[in-house]
């Protein structure tokens, strides 16, 4: 990433300009050639620096009232294999291995689930539980009750 | 929100084209004029159905640092603590959750030093233990919800 890529990043963190030709508008704002801007965005996307150019919805507004952070205490030797399985379940949006903080926080596998109803959420949780099997000793689910802040740098 | 809005949201979650006339491309897919695609997008952003529209950067791959952290805020101090944490520009998002660990926030900084500094400041200002839970491994990220 060079200085021009960084300039592009800083100017698009809040979003793309809302015009019919957003790349033309952005190029003009930055004093860049439109083709160069598009090539740079494409290159950053190809290399994974940009995951994608996309819209991010408010889960609640789409009717997903049950947004649960499911957390699991999974044996360290199996976490990578099991994490891959969990991450591929269609209702899981994010799946990470994170550190435990013993004794307060014994959970090391985090999987975000989204559901429109409570029974649907419960079904998702049971499905994860089945996949983890004996490798998981305990788990809990933390539902979000309020978005306190959702601005600034966005990266998923 | 009608069927076209839903189709637009689903389409825009999967990705927005990098080309001269991206709305023209969406117009063909959705069967409405390009101007209407844009005005619908604007409306969905204004009314909060969409929270963001643009490139989603992968923090670690652009040299930045990202972490998830939590605190156990005593209920009587909840609003005060939430406000203190939100005031940090490094806090990109922050969620209340129904657990003893009741405030969960993501810190996005350009460097790890800035992240550590912000975590220490939050601990000092709130007087709470800040549980830092940076990701050790990422298994899959698929943030696409059917509208």
Within this chain, do residues A34 and A94 fall inside the same structural domain, yes or no? no
Q: Which residue segment(s) compose the domain that B100 sits in?
A: 59-132
In a domain, B76, yes or no: yes
In a domain, A7, yes or no: yes
Task: Tell me: pLDDT of A152 over 80.
Answer: no
Task: Find out whether A106 and A151 touch, Cβ atoms under 8 Å.
Answer: no
Out of B50, B55, B82, name the one closest to residue A53 (CB).
B55
**Optimal mutation site among A16, A33, A57, interface B, most CBs of chain B within 10 A:** A57
Within this chain, do residues B41 and B77 fall inside the same structural domain, yes or no? no
Kindly report the number of other CB atoms within 10 A of residue A36's CB atom.
13
In a domain, B140, yes or no: no
Q: Mapping DSSP to helix (H, G, I), strand (E, B) and coil, where does residue A120 land?
A: helix
Within this chain, do residues A72 and A136 fall inside the same structural domain, yes or no? yes
In a domain, B142, yes or no: no
Query: Stretch A137-143: mean pLDDT, rounded?
Result: 95
Task: Find out whether A72 and A137 touch, Cβ atoms under 8 Å.
Answer: no
Task: Find out whether B37 and B23 touch, Cβ atoms under 8 Å.
Answer: yes
For A88-134, what is each residue's pLDDT tens digit? 998 998 899 999 999 999 999 999 999 999 999 999 999 999 999 99
In a domain, B54, yes or no: no
Task: Find out whether B145 and A57 touch, Cβ atoms under 8 Å.
Answer: yes
Task: Tell me: pLDDT of A3 over 80.
Answer: yes
Out of B131, B137, B147, name the one closest to residue A105 (CB).
B131
Within this chain, do residues B26 and B71 fall inside the same structural domain, yes or no? no
Q: Domain containing B65 — which CATH number?
A: 3.30.70.3460
For B66-76, what is each residue's pLDDT tens digit? 999 999 999 99
In a domain, B107, yes or no: yes
Within this chain, do residues B74 and B120 fall inside the same structural domain, yes or no? yes
Percent helix, percent strand, percent coil in chain B, to nearest 5: 45, 25, 30
B9/A84 touch (CB, cutoff 8 Å), yes or no: no
pLDDT grade for B25, boundaries at 50, 70 and 90? very high
Torsional class of B48: left (φ above 0), alpha (ψ -120 to 50), beta (otherwise): left
| Stretch among A91-100, A145-154, B36-45, B102-111 having the lowest mean pLDDT | A145-154
Q: For residue A154, what pLDDT is reported?
A: 45
Within this chain, do residues A33 and A75 fall inside the same structural domain, yes or no? no
B104/A56 touch (CB, cutoff 8 Å), yes or no: no
Query: Stretch A66-86: mean pLDDT, rounded?
Result: 95
Task: Find out whether B107 and B90 touch, Cβ atoms under 8 Å.
Answer: yes
Task: Find out whether B95 and B102 touch, Cβ atoms under 8 Å.
Answer: no
Within this chain, do residues B37 and B66 fall inside the same structural domain, yes or no? no
Distance CA B97, CA B83 (A): 15
Q: For residue B143, what pLDDT is reported?
A: 59
Within this chain, do residues A68 and A41 fall inside the same structural domain, yes or no? no
Distances (CA, A) of A54 to A61, A107, B44, B89, B91: 17, 31, 13, 23, 21
A53/B18 touch (CB, cutoff 8 Å), yes or no: yes
* DSSP classification of residue A101: B
In a domain, A39, yes or no: yes
B135/A144 touch (CB, cutoff 8 Å), yes or no: no
For A29-65, what is each residue's pLDDT tens digit? 999 999 999 999 999 999 999 989 999 998 888 999 8
Within this chain, do residues B67 and B116 fall inside the same structural domain, yes or no? yes
Nearest to A101 by CA among B95, B133, B98: B133
What proportion of chain B, given as a percentage, has pLDDT over 90?
Answer: 83
Within this chain, do residues B35 and B81 fall inside the same structural domain, yes or no? no
Distance CA A97, CA B66 (A): 14
Within this chain, do residues A17 and A67 fall inside the same structural domain, yes or no? no
Task: Tell me: pLDDT of B109 over 70.
Answer: yes
Q: Domain containing A135 — which CATH number?
A: 3.30.70.920
Task: Find out whether A114 and B145 touch, Cβ atoms under 8 Å.
Answer: yes
| Stretch among A135-139, B88-92, B137-141 having the lowest mean pLDDT | B137-141
pLDDT grade for B142, boundaries at 50, 70 and 90? low
Give me B98's structure tokens.
């129904």
Q: Which residue segment(s) compose the domain that A86 sits in?
A: 60-143
A90 to chain B, minimum CA–CA distance in Å?
Answer: 8
A54/B97 touch (CB, cutoff 8 Å), yes or no: no
In a domain, B143, yes or no: no
- Characterize the bridge pairing of strands A50-57 and B65-71: unpaired
Q: Which residue intervals of B47-88 are DSSP H helices?
A: 78-86
Q: How many domains does chain A have?
A: 2
**Is the pTM above the cut of 0.95?**
no
Out of B13, B35, B68, name the one closest to residue A54 (CB).
B13
For B75-106, what is each residue's pLDDT tens digit? 999 999 999 999 999 998 999 999 999 999 99
Helix B112-126 / helix B78-86 crossing angle, nearest 10 deg: 150
A77 touches chain B (CB under 8 A): no
Out of A52, A142, A156, name the one closest to residue B15 (CB).
A52
A24 or A59: which leads in pLDDT:
A24
Q: For residue B61, what pLDDT is reported?
A: 84
Nearest to B64 by CA among B118, B7, B121: B118
pLDDT grade for B64, boundaries at 50, 70 and 90? confident
Task: Find out whether A20 and B26 touch, Cβ atoms under 8 Å.
Answer: no
Within this chain, do residues A93 and A133 fall inside the same structural domain, yes or no? yes
Within this chain, do residues A35 and A81 fall inside the same structural domain, yes or no? no
């Amino acid at each position: 990433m060079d200085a021009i890529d960084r300039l592009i990043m800083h100017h698009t963190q809040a979003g793309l300009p809302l015009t019919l030709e957003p790349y033309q508008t952005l190029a003009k704002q930055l004093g860049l050639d439109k083709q160069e801007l598009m090539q740079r965005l494409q290159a950053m996307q190809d290399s994974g620096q940009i995951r994608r150019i996309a819209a991010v919805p408010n889960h609640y507004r789409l009717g997903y009232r049950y947004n649960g952070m499911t957390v699991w205490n999974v044996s360290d030797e199996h976490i990578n294999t099991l994490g891959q399985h969990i991450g591929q379940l269609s209702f899981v949006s994010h799946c990470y291995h994170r550190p435990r903080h013993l004794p307060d926080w014994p959970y090391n596998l985090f999987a975000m689930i989204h559901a429109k109803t409570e029974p649907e959420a419960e079904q998702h949780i049971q499905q994860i539980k089945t996949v983890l099997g004996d490798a998981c000793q305990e788990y809990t689910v933390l539902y979000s009750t309020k978005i306190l802040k959702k601005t600034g740098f966005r990266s998923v | 929100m009608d069927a076209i809005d839903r189709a637009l949201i689903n389409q825009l979650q999967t990705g927005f084209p990098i080309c001269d006339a991206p709305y023209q491309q969406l117009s063909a897919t959705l069967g409405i004029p390009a101007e209407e695609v844009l005005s619908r997008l604007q409306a969905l952003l204004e009314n909060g159905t969409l929270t963001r529209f643009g490139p989603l950067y992968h923090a670690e791959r652009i040299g930045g640092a990202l972490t998830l952290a939590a605190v156990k805020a005593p209920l009587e101090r909840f609003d005060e603590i939430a406000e203190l944490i939100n005031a940090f520009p490094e806090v990109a998002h922050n969620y209340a959750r129904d657990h003893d660990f009741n405030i969960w926030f993501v810190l996005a900084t350009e460097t790890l030093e800035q992240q550590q500094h912000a975590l220490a400041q939050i601990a000092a200002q709130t007087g709470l233990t800040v549980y830092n839970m940076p990701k050790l491994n990422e298994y899959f990220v698929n943030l696409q919800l059917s509208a």
